[in-house]
Structure 1
Amino acid sequence: MRSIRTSAPLGRGRRTVLAATGLVAALALTATACGGSEEDTASDKPGATASQAAGGSGDGKVAIPSDIADKLEDHGIDVDKWKNGGWEDWDKDKWLSEAKDFVNPVIEGLWKPERMRSAEEADKTVSTKDAAAAQGVSDPEPAPVRAQAEKTPYHDNAAPVGKVFFDSPEGPSVCSGTVIKDVNHPGKSNLVWTAGHCVHAGGNGGWYRNLVFVPAYNDLGRSEADLTGASASEIAPYGNWWADWASTSNGWIQGGSETGGDGAAYDYAVLHVKPEQGSKSLEETVGAALDVDFSAPSVAEAGTMGAWGYPAAPPYNGLQMFKCVDAPGRFSLSPSLPTMYRIGCTMTGGSSGGGWFRVVDGETVLVSNTSIGPTDNTWLAGPQLGKDAEALYRNMSRTHGGR
Structure 2
Amino acid sequence: MGDPNDSLPEEIPGVREALENNDIAAAAARIQQYLERENNIPLNIAITGETGSGKSTFVNALRGLSNGDKGAAPTGVTETTVEVTPYPHPNYPNVKLWDLPGIGTTKFPAKKYLKLVGFEKFDFFIIISDTRFRENDVKLAQEIQKMKKKYYFVRSKIDNDINAEKKRDFNEEDTLTKIRDNCVHRLRESGFESPQVFLVSSFELHLYDFSLLHQTLERELPAHKRHALLRAMPNISLEIIDKKKKTFKCQLYWLATQSALGAAVPVPGLSIAVDAAVLVDAVTDYVFAFGLDIPSLKRLSARTDVSYTALCAVIISPLAAVEITTELLLKALTQVGHIATLIAAEEVSRFIPFIGIPIAMGFSFTTTYNILNLILDKLADDAQKLFEMTLNLKIKDE
Larger strand fraction of residues = 1
TM-score (norm 2): 0.25
Structure possessing the higher radius of gyration over alpha carbons: 2
TM-score (norm 1): 0.25
Higher relative contact order (CA 8 A, sep 6+): 1
